[in-house]
Amino acid sequence: LKDRTTVIISHRISAVQHADHILVLEHGRVVEEGRHDQLLERGGVYAELHQEQLLEEARSASA
């Protein structure tokens, strides 16, 4: 989606991880923003959600 502004709303990190700019909302407020790698480095809400989703995918794959 080059040269376009697209708004994606998702609970799944995989849907937004390649976006140029990610906003993380919690209880209706922006609590973090940045690129995927920056948000992971910060270790905040986004990083926690990412880790939870990785564990969920691993459990599903082994079931």
As a whole number, mean pLDDT of residues 14-32 equals 96
As a whole number, mean pLDDT of residues 24-29 equals 96
Residue 20: the pLDDT is 93
Contact indicator for 45, 32 with CB cutoff of 8 Å: yes
Residue 1: the pLDDT is 59
Q: Give the whole-number percent of the chain exceeding pLDDT 90.
A: 81
Name 22's Cβ contacts closer than 8 Å, sequence gap at least 6.
16, 32, 33, 34, 35, 36, 39, 46
Q: Which helix (H) or strand (E) is 29 found in, with range?
A: strand 29-34
pLDDT of 63 over the 90 cut: no
Residue 11: the pLDDT is 92
Residue 34: the pLDDT is 98
CB atoms within 10 A of CB 12: 10
